[in-house]
C-alpha cells in the first residue's frame, strides 16, 4: 500500500450504501457492468426495496433478463450486511498489523458477534492467494517449524503432544512466506511441504532437526545452522527470517486471537501470510479502499 487511507477518509468516502455500490461496481467492472450469466454489457440499473425495506441496487440484463447485484459471486455475496460495514471491516482487518479479533470487530462495527466472526472468516477466505501459490520459491529459502497452542514451551516431538505443528518457508529474495499446519513433523510430511513450495535446486536453510536430514542427499542444496552454537553461519546461513515470522505470528495469536482451534488455524495462517506477503503492496481487498479506482 503506497499510502494508507485513514479511518476518517474511509468513513467519509464510504458513508452511504450507494457510494459503496458505485465504487465496487467500478472495481468489479472497469468497462461497465457485465451480465454474470450471458456476458452481455447491455445492462439496466435499478433500485428496489428489499424485504427489510432497505434499498437494493440491482442490475438487469437486457438480453437474458437475469437480475443480479454487484456483490453476487464475491465474498460479500448472500450477506445482509451493508457494504458500508464490509468496507470498514476490510479496512480494519487489512490495516491492523497483528490482526483483529471478532470481538473487536463486533464492537467497532456495531454488529453481533456472530456477524463479526462470519465477516472475519469471509475476508480471510478471500485472502487465499491462489495465483501466488502456483509459483514455487527459488534461491535461498529458510524453512522452520513451530508449535502452536498447548501450555508452556515443550521440546519437539513428544513434548509437543498438545500443540499443533506449523511449518513455514520464506524465500529470501522476495521476502514472501507460506505456512501450513501439519499433523506431525515427520520427514515425509516436511518433505512434501518443501517439495510443494520450493523449486528443485533451491538452497534450503534449516536448523539441525533430524526430519530435515534427507535434504542433504535430495534435489535441493541443504545448509544447516546449529542453534546451540550460533544463529548465523558463514554470514548468511541462518533461519532468522523465519524466526521473525514466528515471533510476529505468536504475538498475533496470543495478543489478538487468544485461542485458535486446530479447525480454524489454517484460516489464520492464510490471513497472516497474506498480510505478511502483501505488506508493501496494494492487495486485492485494499483495491476496495483506493480512491483512484
Q: In angstroms, what is the minimal distance from the CB of 28 to Zn ion?
A: 16
Q: Which is nearer to Zn ion, 63 or 129 (CB)?
A: 63
Q: Given its phi and psi angles, is residue 32 left (phi above 0), alpha (psi -120 to 50 degrees) or beta?
A: left
Per-residue cell: 249: 505470528
Among positions 31-70, residues that touch Zn ion (CB under 5 A) are 35, 37-38, 40, 61, 63-64, 66
Which of 30-38, 88-96, 169-177, 217-225 is the region at the interface with Zn ion (rule: CB under 5 A)? 30-38
Q: In angstroms, what is the minimal distance from the CB of 62 to Zn ion?
A: 8
Q: In angstroms, what is the minimal distance from the CB of 258 to Zn ion?
A: 47
Per-residue cell: 139: 534461491
Crossing angle (nearest 10°) for helices 265-277 and 240-252: 120
What is the number of alpha carbons within 13 Å of residue 245 lying toward its C-beta? 29
The Cα–Cα gap between 71 and 68 comes to 8
Among positions 101-140, residues that touch Zn ion (CB under 5 A) are none
Q: Which is nearer to Zn ion, 25 or 142 (CB)?
A: 25
Closest CA to 238 of 261, 205, 201, 204: 205
Sorted by sequence, the CB contacts under 8 Å of residue 53 that are 6+ apart come out as none
Q: Which is nearer to Zn ion, 61 or 194 (CB)?
A: 61
Q: In angstroms, what is the minimal distance from the CB of 31 to Zn ion?
A: 16
Q: Which is nearer to Zn ion, 61 or 70 (CB)?
A: 61
Residues that bind Zn ion (CB under 5 A): 35, 37-38, 40, 61, 63-64, 66
Amino acid at each position: 500500500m503506497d499510502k494508507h487511507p485513514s479511518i476518517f477518509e474511509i468513513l467519509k468516502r464510504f458513508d452511504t450504501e450507494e457510494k459503496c455500490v458505485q465504487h465496487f461496481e467500478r472495481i468489479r467492472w472497469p468497462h461497465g457492468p457485465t451480465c454474470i450469466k450471458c456476458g452481455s454489457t447491455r445492462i439496466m440499473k435499478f433500485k428496489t426495496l428489499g424485504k427489510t425495506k432497505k434499498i437494493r441496487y440491482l442490475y438487469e440484463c437486457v438480453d437474458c433478463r437475469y437480475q443480479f447485484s454487484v456483490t453476487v459471486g464475491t465474498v460479500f455475496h448472500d450477506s445482509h450486511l451493508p457494504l458500508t460495514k464490509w468496507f470498514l471491516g476490510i479496512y480494519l482487518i487489512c490495516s491492523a498489523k497483528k490482526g483483529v479479533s471478532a470481538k473487536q470487530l463486533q464492537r467497532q462495527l456495531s454488529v453481533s458477534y456472530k456477524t463479526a466472526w462470519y465477516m472475519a472468516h469471509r475476508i480471510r477466505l478471500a485472502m487465499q492467494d491462489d495465483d501466488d501459490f502456483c509459483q514455487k520459491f527459488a534461491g535461498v529459502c529458510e524453512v522452520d517449524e513451530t508449535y502452536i497452542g498447548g501450555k508452556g514451551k515443550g521440546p519437539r516431538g513428544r513434548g509437543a503432544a498438545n500443540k499443533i505443528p506449523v511449518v513455514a518457508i520464506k524465500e529470501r529474495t522476495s521476502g514472501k512466506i507460506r505456512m501450513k499446519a501439519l499433523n506431525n513433523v515427520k520427514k515425509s510430511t516436511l518433505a512434501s511441504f518443501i517439495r510443494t513450495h520450493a523449486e528443485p535446486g533451491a538452497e534450503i536453510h534449516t536448523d539441525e532437526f533430524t526430519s530435515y536430514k534427507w535434504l542433504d542427499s535430495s534435489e535441493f542444496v541443504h545448509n544447516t545452522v546449529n542453534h546451540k552454537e550460533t544463529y548465523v553461519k558463514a554470514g548468511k546461513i541462518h533461519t532468522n527470517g523465519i524466526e521473525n515470522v514466528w515471533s510476529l505470528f505468536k504475538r498475533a495469536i496470543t495478543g489478538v486471537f487468544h485461542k485458535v482451534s486446530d479447525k480454524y488455524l489454517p484460516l489464520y495462517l492464510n490471513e497472516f501470510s497474506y498480510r505478511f506477503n502483501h505488506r508493501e503492496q496494494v492487495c486485492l481487498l485494499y483495491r476496495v479502499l483506493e480512491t483512484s479506482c
